[in-house]
């Protein structure tokens, strides 16, 4: 969930909104004339990085035979 704030209100209450955002852990969408122009989100600590273990989960589309060629021989073109 994010909080929507107009640019004029953000300018007037910037420091209070930043403090509130930090305590609520909620992003703020800043609008100008009703259209979103910026998104302000809480900073994450450097030690909160996600582990690389499992980062590629779901990216393998097919893994029938790991020892078979990656493609059909007719798909390759040899350069002499």
User: Which domains are delineated in the chain?
Assistant: 1-43 (3.40.1620.10)
Residue that the structure tokens 């029938």 belong to: 64
Mean pLDDT in residue range 18-39: 91
For residue 13, the SS3 value is: helix
Residue that the structure tokens 């969408």 belong to: 29
> Bridge-partner residues for 59, per DSSP?
none
pLDDT in tens, 48-77: 667 788 777 877 776 677 777 777 777 777
pLDDT greater than 70 at residue 26:
yes
What is this structure's pTM? Answer: 0.53
Q: Are 26 and 2 in contact (CB under 8 A)?
A: yes
> Bridge-partner residues for 75, per DSSP?
none
Per-residue model confidence (pLDDT) at position 46:
58
């Amino acid at each position: 969930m994010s909080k929507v704030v107009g640019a004029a209100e953000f300018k007037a209450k910037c420091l209070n909104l930043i403090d509130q955002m930090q305590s609520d852990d909620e992003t703020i969408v800043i609008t100008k004339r009703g259209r979103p122009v910026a998104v302000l989100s809480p900073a994450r600590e450097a030690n909160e990085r996600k582990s690389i273990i499992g980062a590629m989960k779901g990216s393998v589309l097919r893994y029938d035979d790991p020892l078979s060629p990656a493609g059909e021989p007719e798909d390759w073109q040899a350069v002499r």
